């Protein structure tokens, strides 16, 4: 259903000593008795990229390191510190570990890799906020209504790369495109990630939008009703 937003605090920090210290302190402030703080990196070897973070993991018994590649997931309740993820990594984390997450701190080496998600969830900015002053373009109101409807209708345990979920998503996107509605792939991917689309589904949504904007027409077995975009337009106008 639509209300699948993450119900925990979130923060982002820059990839420097001050930013990493701020992220560690922020995560520790959200710990409770018996919590485990999970440090996530994409590869296990990535931890060596930061002696500061590597020392933090090695020095505390209530800190666990997991690697996203190979199926690493959050096993214990507590804060999570993600180091250098992309939006696809955040989607995978939410797919497997959202019920255990007390708070999520993200250390970013390239702000553009997660800017659409940050623009949508508006996390606490730790340290210098200047890199985040540039926001992802706002989503067209009609597209927003379409995304909300898809979010309510989908089974989020399923992939949108096949089956009825693919049919729903692709037929809706094609209808929006054919009606001349502007779709921004990054903004839509960030919105989906912030509103309960987990795993690879936000990334796949962005790919569909890019393909359709480039003139491709992904296959689907069904079409939305002819007046569907007009229906979305009326709903969007009521919210203005």
Q: Which residues of the chain have pLDDT under 50?
A: 1-3
Number of residues assigned to the chain: 240
Rounded CA gap, 59 and 233, in Å?
56
β-strand pairing of 10-14 with 101-108: parallel
Rounded CA gap, 147 and 113, in Å?
22
Q: Is 213 helix (H, G, I), strand (E, B) or coil?
A: helix
First-to-last alpha carbon distance for the chain, in angstroms, is 24
Topology, domain 141-239 = AhpD-like (1.20.1290)
Q: Quick one: residue 18, left, alpha or beta (phi over 0 = left, psi -120 to 50 = alpha)?
A: alpha
The whole-model pTM stands at: 0.88
pLDDT value, residue 1: 37
Contact between 81 and 40 under an 8 Å Cβ cutoff? The reply is yes
pLDDT value, residue 157: 86
pLDDT value, residue 186: 95
Report phi then psi at 104, rounded to 5: -125, 115
Rounded CA gap, 91 and 38, in Å?
16
**CATH hierarchy code of domain 10-132:** 3.40.50
Rounded CA gap, 30 and 171, in Å?
42
Stretch(es) of the chain classified as CATH 3.40.50: 10-132
pLDDT value, residue 2: 38
Rounded CA gap, 3 and 151, in Å?
9
217: CB partners within 8 A, 6+ apart: 174
Rounded CA gap, 81 and 53, in Å?
10
**Cα angle 119-155-10, degrees, rounded to a multiple of 5:** 30
Stretch(es) of the chain classified as CATH 1.20.1290.30: 141-239
Rounded CA gap, 30 and 7, in Å?
14
């Amino acid at each position: 259903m639509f209300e699948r937003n993450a119900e925990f605090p979130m923060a982002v920090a820059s990839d420097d000593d001050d930013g990493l210290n701020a992220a560690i302190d922020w995560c520790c402030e959200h710990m409770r008795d018996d919590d485990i703080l999970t440090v996530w990196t994409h590869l296990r070897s990535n931890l060596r990229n930061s002696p500061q973070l590597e020392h933090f993991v090695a020095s505390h018994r209530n800190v666990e390191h997991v690697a996203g590649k190979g199926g690493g997931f959050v096993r214990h309740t507590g804060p999570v510190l993600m180091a250098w993820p992309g939006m696809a990594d955040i989607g995978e984390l939410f797919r497997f570990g959202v019920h255990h997450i007390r708070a999520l701190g993200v250390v970013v080496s390239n702000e553009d890799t997660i800017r659409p998600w940050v623009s949508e969830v508006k996390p606490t900015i730790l340290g210098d906020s200047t890199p985040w002053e540039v926001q992802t373009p706002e989503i067209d109101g009609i597209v927003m209504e379409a995304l909300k409807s898809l979010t309510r209708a989908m089974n989020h345990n399923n992939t949108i790369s096949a089956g009825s979920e693919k049919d729903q998503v692709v037929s809706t996107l094609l209808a929006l495109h054919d009606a001349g509605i502007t779709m921004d792939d990054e903004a839509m991917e960030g919105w989906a990630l912030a509103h309960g689309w987990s795993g690879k589904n936000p990334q796949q949504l962005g790919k569909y939008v890019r393909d359709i904007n480039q003139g491709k027409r992904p296959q689907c077995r069904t079409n939305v009703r002819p007046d569907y975009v007009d229906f979305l337009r009326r709903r969007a106008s009521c919210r203005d």
